[in-house]
Amino acid sequence: MEKISMWEATANERRKRPSLEGDQQCDVVIIGGGYSGLSTSYFLQQKGSKTIVLEKDLVGSGASGRNGGEVLTGYMGSASSLIKKKGVEAARKMYQLSLDSIDLIETIIESNNIDCAFTRNGSLLAAYRPSDIEGMKKEQEVLERNFNHKVKVIEPHDMQTELKTTFYHGGRIDEKSAHFHPLNYALGLAEAAEKFGSTIYENSEALKVERDANNKVVVTTKNGRVIADEIVIVTNGYSGDLNKKIKRTIVPVESIMIATETLSKELVEDLIKNNRAVSDTKNLLYYFRRTSDNRMAFGGSGRSANKKDQLQLFEKLRDGMVSVFPELKDAKIEYQWGGKVAITKERLPYIGQLDDGTYFAYGYAGHGAAMSTLMGQLLARRIHGEMSEDENPLEIKRVRPIPFHSQHEKAVSLMKYYYRYKDKK
């Protein structure tokens, strides 16, 4: 079994980048080399700002190089719950942003020739319980009436046109969604930002942020400092103590994935007929897709920092994959890996500026493969004064710490036990 992720093992060649040594100056220093940080840099550079990205490990080492590569419309939860939380006007704008985010990614990929197997064949949300199909029909109606967005509901008896399984009871198709090789997109985005003049330092963890006498931001790493006018922190599920305010508004949740050996093209085409990005309606959901080299990449919920527990979770995930696709019972699992997804209290992304001037964007709750690139663009516009805070429905005016944040690991564990129980058929 390979220790690295399948995406890392099958990635395009990585550009070697230095770590920060000595003092450097720039207009905007960006902490975090995932999609959010790289996109912020890409768009700021095009506006004439000089940026430096500091990445603790390598570009895409966080969630951006480890995810399922499902580039999905919408947000965590239903459109109805979004309307309830935000009101219909704001919800409509937010939904449109989620659609725009995928168009934006497509444009970036095309205009920079990023080789990341971007495939816009739509997504399928598969119904785990027979009753889920009624909810899907209601959601279809809400999406069309409020957001003018059309999706298709697949009746249980037609499900074989999508998936070769009896595990699900119908589903909902959204033709706007896509999938890609997540790490290759991150690597391509980094190179595109560099083409516009961005400097990216790897193995350069930001350890401390201060303001000097001229009110410049000074970020210290092990062997250097960056002095800048503005700072953007986009460390998402990997946020440590660098900015405690941000950290306390995020619950990092582990998600894990397995990937089979390369299978026959005929088999994978038969299992997921239309090459869609699939996820389901279980509380502890499964998400899965074909890869461009004909593997099955299958994801689910992780939980514990305990190694033995984690191994069991990977075995359970494999059992889950075989329950969905019995034909994969003898398929060898070649890769298993995990990463951290960031969830906010509202389960919606946050973007904005703290009182001390720090800009931030995070908390995409499993929808960041799509949203984070757009958030980088919005941050760049915000920093350049092209967008007021009121224009963006995702803007958070005051971040509030999650109560009992230090207890979140226990709370997530308990919640997952409960969900696992509820998912038992």
Q: Provide the binding-site residues for ligand FAD, judged by CB under 6 A.
A: 31-37, 54-57, 61-64, 66-70, 72, 205-206, 234-238, 240, 242, 255, 257, 287, 299, 338-341, 362, 364, 366-370, 372
Q: How many CB atoms lie within 10 A of CB 203?
A: 17
Q: Which residue is nearest to ligand FAD (CB)?
A: 368
CB 75, min distance to ligand FAD, A: 10
CB 363, min distance to ligand FAD, A: 8
Nearer to ligand FAD, 142 or 259 (CB): 259
CB 2, min distance to ligand FAD, A: 16
Nearer to ligand FAD, 133 or 260 (CB): 260
- Strand 208-211 with 217-220, pairing: antiparallel
What six digits make up the tokens of 161?
């046109």
Q: How far apart are CA 164 and CA 158, in angstroms?
A: 11
Residue 353 three-state SS: strand
CB 185, min distance to ligand FAD, A: 10
Nearer to ligand FAD, 53 or 133 (CB): 53
CB 31, min distance to ligand FAD, A: 5
HEC secondary structure over 139-160? HHHHHHHHHCCCCEEECHHHHH
Order of strands across the sheet that contains 152-154: 152-154, 171-174, 123-126, 277-280, 287-290, 296-301, 251-260, 333-343
Q: How many CB atoms lie within 10 A of CB 145?
A: 11
Q: How far apart are CA 422 and CA 399, in angstroms?
A: 32
CB 164, min distance to ligand FAD, A: 21
Angle at 408 between CA 407 and CA 412, to 5 degrees: 130
Nearer to ligand FAD, 207 or 387 (CB): 207
Nearer to ligand FAD, 51 or 133 (CB): 51
Nearer to ligand FAD, 63 or 154 (CB): 63
Distances (CA, A) of 356 to 189, 231, 251, 398: 29, 10, 22, 12
Task: Determine phi and psi for 168, rounding to 5 degrees.
Answer: -110, 160
- Please return the burial class of 322, using the count of CB atoms within 10 Å of its CB with bins 0-12, 13-18 and 19+: middle
CB 227, min distance to ligand FAD, A: 16
CB 417, min distance to ligand FAD, A: 20
Nearer to ligand FAD, 60 or 170 (CB): 60
Nearer to ligand FAD, 95 or 364 (CB): 364
Contact (Cβ atoms closer than 8 angstroms) between residue 405 and residue 248: yes
E strands, 14-89, in order:
22-31, 51-54, 70-71
CB 186, min distance to ligand FAD, A: 7
Distances (CA, A) of 127 to 131, 173, 325, 414: 8, 11, 15, 25
CB 204, min distance to ligand FAD, A: 7
CB 171, min distance to ligand FAD, A: 17
- Please return the burial class of 48, using the count of CB atoms within 10 Å of its CB with bins 0-12, 13-18 and 19+: exposed
Nearer to ligand FAD, 57 or 293 (CB): 57
Closest CA relative to residue 297, chosen from 31, 70, 3, 55: 70
Nearer to ligand FAD, 170 or 349 (CB): 349
Nearer to ligand FAD, 42 or 133 (CB): 42
Contact (Cβ atoms closer than 8 angstroms) between residue 369 and residue 69: yes
Q: How far apart are CA 24 and CA 230, in angstroms?
A: 14
